[in-house]
Amino acid sequence: MSYERARDELTEVVKRLETGGLTLEESLNLWERGERLAAICEEWLEGARARLAAAMARPGDAEDGGPAPF
């Protein structure tokens, strides 16, 4: 699942939980789904941070006067 899809679905889960009117079982199921979606988002963000850190750590990128990689 893409980050954007997980984020959007997580937003909808939060809205439904905040609106209320759900049974306890429905609320628990939504909460668990939200936890799984949040974990997916966090994995994507950690991966992006790692890729950014790796790109910034390449030797000579900033020191050689060449163009930035972005």
pLDDT digits (tens, 9 = 90+) for 5-58: 999 999 999 999 999 999 999 999 999 999 999 999 999 999 999 999 999 998
CA distance 54 to 48: 10
Q: Is residue 4 predicted with pLDDT exceeding 60?
A: yes
* 41 in Cβ contact with 6 (< 8 Å): yes
Supply the pTM of this predicted model.
0.74
The verdict on residue 30 lying in a domain is yes
> Residue 52's domain spans which residues?
3-56
User: Is residue 65 one of the residues assigned to a domain?
Assistant: no
Structural domain count of the chain: 1
Cα–Cα dist 14/55, whole Å: 34
Q: Which amino acid is at 18?
A: E
- State yes or no: pLDDT of 65 exceeds 80: no
What CA–CA distance (Å, rounded) separates 39 from 21? 26
Residue 59 has pLDDT above 80, yes or no: no
23, part of any domain = yes
